[in-house]
Structure 1
Amino acid sequence: MLKGMKSDKNIEEAIVLEDSFNEEVEQEQVDADEALMEKPFDPTKINIETKTPSLDTLIKRIERNEIQMDTTTYFQRQDDLWDKTKQSRLIESILIRFPLPAFFFDASDDNNWLVVDGLQRLSSIRNFCVTKDLKLTNLEFLTQLNGKGWKDLSGDLKRIIEEAQVVIYKIMPGTPTDVKFNIFKRINTGGLVLEPQEIRHALFQGKPAQFIADLGKNEAFLKATEGRIKTHRMLDRDFANRFLAFYLFGYENYSPDLDTFMSKAMANIYNMSQSELDKIIHNYSEAMIVAKKIFKEEAFRKIHNESKRLPPINKALFDALATQLAVLSQSERDALVSKGKVFKKGLYDLLNNDAYFFTSVTSSTGDKNRVYHRHNEIKKLIHQTIES
């Protein structure tokens, strides 16, 4: 048991489950209230249009490349995941006039709608009605159409498809990004629910998305984490985005929720010069180098006395340690490395003897008080070590 643990609740928060050691990155424990915004967005700013066009409207947009079907560029998820049977039965549903679920689009650019929800259905419609590659198979009701493609349908059947009414929701220009983030997160009902970082990647295309991707591939970052943080589902970029938010705005200015805080950091990149971005990269790299020199393979891991195996990398410890190392001057970083054993022992003492510090990197890590505590304690420890 950790020293200083008083209550059963603290004990529950502090104990790292045995299963967590099988993961490369520790799963964060999130309280129900943690994701609530301190200042929720103004609902009057939500600008979504509801339309009920004919399916032919979407078919023509696909033909003119006015719907971005290659969502790997902004969501890193694939189209065409449905097998031929599932695609065929969607077409059959249209032919027997079953209503389709609604489609959601980000229509910020009217000439290039982004698919928020409905990608697989749109892919099936494209394959049958536009590219005409799909041949119907394994139908339940219209078995006489098995083996037939679009060109084989009679005029009246084609008309049923083209004139079928669909419901679409368009997220319109001017909708604030924090509103869009929550819309994306709430309405995403596909087989692959988007991670928050994947949504941010979609919302902040161009300069911010590329910058975060570059931080995720940073050589010093890969060495410090020993390449253990997966690129799958943009987990590496999530780490980089957390660092960026606290580096740009400071932990003193943090306001929940963490997702909104991280989104603001990406939005801020649009207005930054290349020299400013280069400085961030430099300080990020130097922070990673220092962490690797001092902690070696234990960098960003919650080492405590009861550890029998190397714990997984911890996101909260990473955002605090990486940020506080990055804001140092080079002379301060050099001084810290020269006293690396002292600093390493000091951090391990915090993890073992300060119950609230341990909790601040274990559960409800987006809580304002816990964010402040972990960053402030590491900052104090750094300067105490340098000045000792």
Structure 2
Amino acid sequence: MAKKIIISDRELEEQYEQSSFKLTQERSDFLLPQIVDFVKTKRWLNLHPEYQRRLVWDRKKKSLFIESLLLNIPVPPIFLFEWDYSRYEVMDGQQRLSSVLDFYDNKYKLTGLEQWSDLTGKSFSELPPLLKKALDRRRISATVILAESAKSDDDRSSLRRFVFERLNTGGQKLNAQELRNCLYSSLFNNLIVELAGNDLFDDIWEIPRYSDNIRGDQINTKLAENSLFKRMTDCEIVLRFFAFRQRSHVKGAVKKILDNCMIRNQSLGPDEITRLSELFISRLEAAKSIFGDRTFRIIDQKGKARLSQPLFDAVMVALDREYDHIETLRKKSKELIASLDRKLLSQKTYELVVGKLGTAPSIKDRADFMQKHFKEFI
């Protein structure tokens, strides 16, 4: 057994003094009109509307928050991260801020109030002058992590992630994809959310269509309660295609592969985003044209066709590699599907395609298997 190394108190103190990982923070109170102005002038950034879609406050929750402010009831502080001097990112408190911003913009009317029921049905512009003034005098506290907490952009990114994850210890913990959505704000992240709302993608994965179920910031209950939608699993499925399509990037833990894909594409411009959108949709349409109702569905050992994320990975990546031969594959779709079903009777092949091992080598092996299968019909 290795001998435990004892570190003295003085050594611990020296480590603490030399550590670069220490926060500089301040606390401030902001009037509601100030908050509205800061968001509109983009001094406060990143309210993450895509993230809020998944854990959105309904009109009643927003109204009760406004009622709390009117009653001067203490509300939890928000957390801001100073990304650059005097430019702040909202790390925690997005829904509270959106409730204020949307109310001041007359985007909803109060409902479900418990103490001020006489205000039900009123927007901000319809409040009596005295109540408007009362709201204008209300404040929300903010804890601000200052820019000098980090010495470089890399330190800043690491610190931002660390703080965000620590803030995310209470309530319903965010999963890996929800964290990516909050941490890697970019055109690429917006694309992931947009593609998850593609009608064909939603139909294949049995997700109620975004186009039929989202109106402004209101989400139909049917969509809000869908298991793939509410925890952003639909977005992670889309991300997996972009993360796995280049073999050289498939190494290490799957979570790290997906994180690296977000980081790698964070600076993409509009033209490249458009190209990636068209690429994904064309491969998705190709899969549907070949497999029809069996798209991304595997016949399990009970004879039932069920949706499979590992099969999605394999089919999409293999089709991307062999896209020049898509017309030939379409013409031979019946034979291709029948042959695949026969191969899946083998326990070893079934386990490979089902994806019991969520490792980088198994991801590569599945894509290689599916590409080899397609080549048999080209």
The 3-state SS of whatever aligns with 2:79 is strand
Question: Relative to structure 1, is the Cα distance of residues 168 and 339 closer, same or farther in structure 2, using a 3 angstrom cutoff?
Answer: same
Q: In the alignment, what sits opposite 1:216? A: 196
Matched, 1:382 2:374: yes
2:79/2:142 contact within 8 Å kept: no
Cα offset for 1:262? 2.4
Alignment of 1:77-116 (within 5 A): 77-78=55-56, 82=61, 94=74, 103-116=78-91
Q: Percent identity?
A: 21
Summarize the Cα distance change of 1:236–1:335 in structure 2 as closer, same or farther, 3 Å threshold. Answer: same
Q: RMSD of the TM alignment (CA)?
A: 4.7
Contact map agreement 2:52 2:95 (CA 8 A) in 1: no
> What is the SS of the residue equivalent to 1:107?
strand
- The residue number in structure 2 matching 1:239 is 237
1:38-64 Cα deviation digits (max 9, x unpaired):
xxxxxx999673424242489845553
Return the letter of the residue paired with 1:215. Answer: L
Pick from 359, 362, 369 the counterpart of residue 370 of structure 1.
362
| Pair 1:342–1:102, CA change in 2 (3 A) | same
Alignment check: 8 A CA contact 1:103 1:117 kept = yes
Shift of 1:208: 1.2
Structure 2 counterpart of 1:67, from 39, 44, 56:
44
Residue 323 of structure 1, aligned match among 309, 317, 334: 317
The counterpart of 2:283, out of the listed 284, 287, 291, is 287
Contact 1:243–1:322 (Cα < 8 Å) also in 2: yes
TM-score by length of 2: 0.62
Change (3 A) 1:352 1:117: farther
Rounded to whole Å, the distance in 1 between the matches of 2:234 and 2:286 is: 19
**1:58-97 Cα deviation digits (max 9, x unpaired):** 9845553333485426643546763666666687664xxx
CA contact (8 A) 1:357 1:373 kept: no
Change (3 A) 1:124 1:301: closer
Number of aligned positions between the proteins: 315
C-alpha distance in 2 between matches for 1:279 and 1:152: 50
Give the whole-Å Cα distance in 2 for the aligned partners of 1:71 and 1:211. Answer: 14
Which structure 2 residue ranges, 5 or more long, are not aligned? 1-17, 117-129, 211-228
Distance 1:126 1:321, change over 3 A: closer
CA distance in structure 1 between the aligned counterparts of 2:345 and 2:253, rounded to whole angstroms: 28
1:325-345 Cα offsets, whole Å, 9 max, x none, are 1121413x3333333233323
Q: TM-score, normalised by structure 1?
A: 0.61
> RCO higher in 1 or 2 (8 Å CA, sep ≥ 6)?
1
Letter in 2 for 1:188: N
8 Å contact kept, 1:196–1:259 = yes
Q: CA deviation at 1:297?
A: 0.7
**Further displaced range: 202-211 or 296-305:** 202-211
Matches within 5 A, 1:127-138: none
TM-fit CA distance, 1:355: 3.8
CA distance in 2: counterparts of 1:85 and 1:218, whole angstroms = 34
* TM alignment of 1:189-204, pairs within 5 A: 194-204=174-184
Partner Cα separation in structure 2 for residue 275 and residue 167 of structure 1: 38
CA 1:149 to 1:290, structure 2 compared with 1: closer, same or farther past 3 Å? closer
Whole-angstrom distance in 1 between the partners of 2:367 and 2:200? 22
Residue deviations 1:223-244 (CA, integer Å, cap 9, x gap): 6x27647654444433221111
What amino acid is aligned across from residue 67 of structure 1 in structure 2?
Answer: W
Contact 2:244–2:313 (8 Å) recurs in 1: yes
| 5+ residue gaps, structure 1 | 1-43, 95-99, 140-147
Measured after TM superposition, the shift of residue 114 of structure 1 is: 3.1
Per the TM alignment, residue 118 of structure 1 is displaced from its structure 2 partner at its CA by: 3.0
Q: Aligned equivalents of 1:253 and 1:71: distance in 2?
A: 28
Q: Point out the structure with the larger strand share.
A: 2
SS of 2:298's equivalent in the other structure is: coil
**Equivalent position to 2:23, from 29, 49, 55:** 49
Could you tell me which amino acid in structure 1 is paired with residue 80 of structure 2?
A: F
TM superposition shift of 1:284: 3.0
Aligned partner (choices 333, 352, 357) of residue 340 of structure 1: 333
